[in-house]
Every structure is written in C-alpha cells, then in structure tokens.
Amino acid sequence: MGRDSTNQISLALGDPFWNRGLFADHFLKDRIGELDQWRAEGGLAEAFAAIDRLYREKASRFRTTTNESQTERDFVRPVLDILWKENEPGDCYEVQVNIPNVDARRQPDYAFFRTAGNLNDAEARKGTLDYWRDVPALGDAKAWFASLDRQRGVDENPSSQIANYLYRSRVRWGILTNGRIWRLYEREKSSAGGVFFEVDLEDILKRNDLNGFKYFYLFFRREAFVPDASGISSIEHVFQGSIEYASEVGDRLKESVYDALRSLMNGFFEHSANALDRNDPETVKVVHENCLIVLYRLLFLLYAEDGRLLPCEEEPYHSIS
C-alpha cells in the first residue's frame, strides 16, 4: 500500500499524524497529554492563525510548476520564522551551512539552534564539523508537490538524503518538508530508512483542525528541542516514553505468547475430530510446531493491522478481521 492511501486511512480514523515507527502510537494518543508542554498550549492559536493566513495568501495558489526556491521563500521559511524564533524571526536558524564530509552540491537547507546565542556562538566554527555540535535539528525543504520518498534524477530520495545528513553531522533530529508534509527523523532509528513521524499540515489547515495542528506545532517548533527544568526536551520525553512503553509491551507480550500458544495447543487436542493423543510426545511436538506457525502468522497480521499496512477499514477485510 502506498503512502498516500495509508495516510488517508490514518486521517479517516481521526489521527492528524502518520507515525512510521518513530514513536509509540499509544504514547502519541494516550500519554502525550501528561506532558507539561502539551497542556500549556502557549501560542498555539496565534501560530495556527498566522500559518493559516500564510497558506491562504500564498501556498493555496501553488501549482505543480512551483519550484523549491518559491516554496521556501513564500511558505517554508515564513513558517520557520514563526516556529523557530527566540526574540525575532529567523534568529534561531541558519541556512545552507555545509557539512564538511558531504558533497558540496548536497547540503541541508537549515541548521536549527535552541537559542539565538547558540547560533551566534557557532558562527566562528562554520565550515567545520564542530559547527553542528550545538544543533539539535537540521532541516531540508523540497518543492511543494515534490515527493519526499521518490528519487529525483541522479539524486538519492529526500528521505535517505536527510538520514545521510544526520549520520554525517551527528545531529540527533532532522526535519524534512515540502511545505505540505512535515516529517521528523531521528538519527539512529531512521538510519535504515522508512522510520519517521509525519504531519500533513495542508490537510490540517484545510480542515481548520486546531487540535490536529497541535501535533505539528509541538513537534516542529524550537521549544520542542529546548530542555525543561528536568533537563529533558519535550521531544525527548516522547521518544523515551515510547521506548519505555515498547519495553513494557515486549515484557507483556512474552507472557501473552506463552498463554496463547498453550490455548492453541489445547484447542487442537480438545477438538475430538482431530483425534490427537496429548500423551504421545511426537504428536505433542507436531502440534507445538504447527501452533507456533499459526501464532506467528496471527502476530504478523496484527502488527500489519496496527501499522495500517492492511485495509482494516475497507470491506470485505473489515468484517472478516
């Protein structure tokens, strides 16, 4: 199933984001409300109104001929001016800074800093790998209708490109956008490709969805990468919380798999038509092996359904599932 159809299913289910394994869905939906940054909502409505106005005045008129520089000038950079400022627009990001060990023709479009002071301090290190040591996130922008997954000519596809930037610079987080779609990558988890957190900003603006906009605003702004009183940023809270949740699920799954396997085996033995002798070691071995096959096939299907890789909301699959 392609990215567009998967995203449509996600939106149909009410999710304003598409999470491709970067965080735990459970944390994004049920636990994120515990974060102070999520509850604060400071500046949320104002940012929504400002970005919505930008979209109506500029981006809604973009066409397939709109190129990368036009997209950046008229929409991406003005949005970043709203999201990444400490005192004034543009004071916390630098454009077109090279990574020494990356082809000069392919450089990230943005280096983001937590404070204007960090940006100013890094100026003397520009052109060296050391420049990137205080950069919590880098960014790359593409044309409005450009795919974030397909290869462009001789260039690698944008998703692989930003993963390469993260690896070369040792920066932790990456932001990739074409203005419509905004993605967040993490250096280690996204290194193999296909792992990211995505928000369809255009869809959110078209639906006038302030609650959905919250997932964009709180994940892609400067404050998401600024440590709180405990020394941990909100983006790190979500990331670590997701890892801890996955670990808890893994522990519970081990116990559940054992119980499920036992139930399956008992079912096969207790079904009289099978005529299976539970006291025969060879029979037990065969039943055990085949029940493992059934169980792992079920787990595979459940994983695929949870990841929206199967048409769970479509008939006839929905009724059968």
Residue 182: beta bridge partners?
Answer: 177, 199
Using one digit for the tens of pLDDT, what is the confidence trace for 14-39? 678 999 989 988 888 888 888 888 88
pTM of the model: 0.77
**Type of residue numbered 171:** V
Alpha carbons 257 and 274: distance in angstroms, whole number: 23
Q: What percent of the chain is modeled with pLDDT above 90?
A: 62
Using one digit for the tens of pLDDT, what is the confidence trace for 52-107? 999 999 999 999 999 999 999 999 999 999 999 999 998 999 999 999 988 777 89
69 shares its domain with 148: yes
In a domain, 70, yes or no: yes
Alpha carbons 100 and 131: distance in angstroms, whole number: 10
Last residue of a domain, which of 226, 258, 276? 226
99 shares its domain with 152: yes
Indicate the number of domains in the chain.
2
245 shares its domain with 277: yes
In a domain, 183, yes or no: yes
In 216-301, which ranges are E strands? none
Six-digit token string for 212:
């959905």
Q: What's 127's DSSP letter?
A: T
Six-digit token string for 58:
């500029």
CB-CB contact of 137 with 207 (8 Å): no
Mean pLDDT, the chain, integer: 88
247 shares its domain with 108: no
What is the distance between the terminal CA atoms of the chain, rounded to a whole angstrom?
18
In a domain, 314, yes or no: yes
In a domain, 233, yes or no: no
Alpha carbons 262 and 292: distance in angstroms, whole number: 10
In a domain, 234, yes or no: no
In a domain, 232, yes or no: no
* CB neighbours of residue 255 within 10 Å: 9
**CATH number assigned to the domain comprising residue 34:** 3.90.1570.30
Domain that holds residue 221: 3-226
63 shares its domain with 198: yes
Using one digit for the tens of pLDDT, what is the confidence trace for 248-271? 666 667 677 788 888 899 999 999
- In this prediction, residue 120 carries a pLDDT of 96
90 shares its domain with 207: yes
**CA angle at residue 285 from 283 to 291, to 5 degrees?**
100
139 shares its domain with 184: yes
Confidence category of residue 112, pLDDT binned at 50, 70, 90:
very high
276 shares its domain with 189: no
Checking if the pLDDT of 184 tops 90, the result is yes
167 shares its domain with 298: no
Checking if the pLDDT of 246 tops 90, the result is no
Residue 35 makes CB contacts below 8 A (sequence gap 6+) with 234, 237, 238
CB-CB contact of 143 with 112 (8 Å): no
In a domain, 235, yes or no: no
**Torsion angle defined by CA atoms of residues 117, 220, 175 and 200, in that order, rounded to the nearest 10 degrees:** -160
193 shares its domain with 276: no
> How distant, in Å, are the alpha carbons of 105, 155, 184, 227, 242 from that of 23?
32, 29, 11, 19, 5
Mean pLDDT of 216-244: 91
Six-digit token string for 81:
């001016």
CB-CB contact of 262 with 278 (8 Å): no
In a domain, 282, yes or no: yes
Last residue of a domain, which of 172, 194, 226? 226
- In this prediction, residue 8 carries a pLDDT of 39
68 shares its domain with 125: yes
Last residue of a domain, which of 196, 226, 256? 226
Residue 79 makes CB contacts below 8 A (sequence gap 6+) with 51, 54, 179
Alpha carbons 158 and 177: distance in angstroms, whole number: 9
63 shares its domain with 111: yes
